[in-house]
Amino acid sequence: MRLGSSVSARPIRATALLEIEPRTLPGVLARLKQLEAVESVHTTSGRIDLMVTIAARTTEELDVALDTIGAVDGVTDSESLIHLTTKLDRR
C-alpha cells in the first residue's frame, strides 16, 4: 500500500464541522483555502454548513489549525472530530 505524500507527511487527521453566518460562505471559504492544514471543504445539508478535513504533522499543529478555523470571520460554531483509527478506506 502506498501512501500519498500529504498523508505520510501529515498523519494526524481531523474533521471540523462548521456553522457559518448567512451569506458568509465566500469569505469563509477564501480564508480556509489559505490554511495549509485544510485538505478539503464540503458543503452539507442539515444543521452543519461545512465539513472541513484537516491534516497535521503534530497535535500542536492540529490545535493551531482548529483554533484558526474557529476564529474565521463568519464561523459561528464548530465541532472537532479527531480521527483515531481508520477501519475502512476505499480511496
Helix (H/G/I), strand (E/B), else coil: 19: strand
Q: What are the CA-CA distances from residue 34 to residues 4, 39, 84, 88, 89 (Å)? A: 21, 11, 26, 30, 27
pLDDT in tens, 31-48: 999 999 999 999 999 999
pLDDT in tens, 4-29: 554 568 899 999 999 999 999 999 99
44 Cβ contact list (under 8 Å, min separation 6): 50, 51
- How far is residue 8's CA from residue 18's CA, in Å, rounded to a whole number? 26
Contact 15, 44 (CB under 8 A): no
